Amino acid sequence: MEMHGASAVITGGAGGFGGATARRLARLGAKVVIADVMEERGRALVEELGNGSVFVRCDIFDEATIAEAVAAAQGLGPLRAAVVVHGSPPSPVPGGRLIGRDGRRLPVANFEHMIRAYLTGAFAVTSHAAEAMARTEPVKDGQRGVIINTASIAGFEGAPGLVPYSAAKGGVIAMTLTLARDLAPLGIRAMAIAPGTFLTHGYAHMTAEEAQAKYGPTIPNPQRMGDPEEYAMLAQQIVENDFLNGTVIRLDGAQRFGAKPF
């Protein structure tokens, strides 16, 4: 997909994955909508890009703001890429194992929260972006755009305490091929990336050295946490390679939850 003169929207664009991907798409000539609730970080990224990209405050639980982010991208140029890497606001009730040490079950509210954030949110962004892409003029081979959702290796095999998150990310995995088939007549591709353990803003409560020391040994090779730039490298390849479609790509250094580290 040719991105020069086009636009892209990234939900979670102010985060580690989103920021690294925005920089790469900008270097390809795209203007990017950084859609996030982290306004200070998002505006700083837009200023860094300096190419006419914009920040739009987007709450993944508010569909109207998703529509606003997509509309903003359309105002910058034909929408050719949507990357869904948003996180989740705090759950109203704590998570944990299905039955905790106190003998109590995990509340349904926690499960519903995670599904809404990571699965319903992904569908909402996908549907709004696809509708916008369908209205653009196609480029070569009848292509109109590409949508990249973010799954997780937890969607394949989750660690203890991740039932709601695993279910949500498993849903992203399950819908990827069907999305690609639904959107094929329109020349829109659908892909997903399933990252393992990456050093993102989610580990801001500890130093990078502490995080690497704790989590790096759980990854067979390379024996370190992933770098968001490695996610962005793959996202760029998906955008540029029109024959990548309907597939979930694991990006995890051969990590498997539950397996003993090498």
The CATH number of whichever domain residue 115 belongs to comes to: 3.40.50.720
Distance CA 259, CA 262 (A): 9
* 165 part of the active site: yes
257: in domain: no
Buried b (16+ CB within 10 A) or exposed e, 27-66: ebebbbbbbbbbeebbbebbeebeeebbbbbbbbeeeebb
207: in domain: yes
107: in domain: yes
Q: State pLDDT tens for residues 210-234.
A: 999 998 999 999 999 999 999 999 9
Distance CA 251, CA 247 (A): 13
pLDDT for 200 equals 87
| Percent of the chain residues topping a pLDDT of 90 | 88
Predicted structure pTM score: 0.95
Active-site annotation holder among 118, 165, 203, 231: 165
259: in domain: no
Q: What share of the chain is helix, strand, coil (3-state, %, to 5)?
A: 45, 15, 35
Q: State pLDDT tens for residues 10-24.
A: 999 999 999 999 999
131: in domain: yes
Q: Tokens 């709450």 correspond to what residue?
A: 59
Q: Which residues span the domain enclosing 106?
A: 7-251
Structural element, H or E, at residue 110: helix 108-115
154: in domain: yes
More confident residue, 32 or 214: 32
221: in domain: yes
Question: How many domains, the chain?
Answer: 1
256: in domain: no
Q: Are 159 and 95 in contact (CB under 8 A)?
A: no
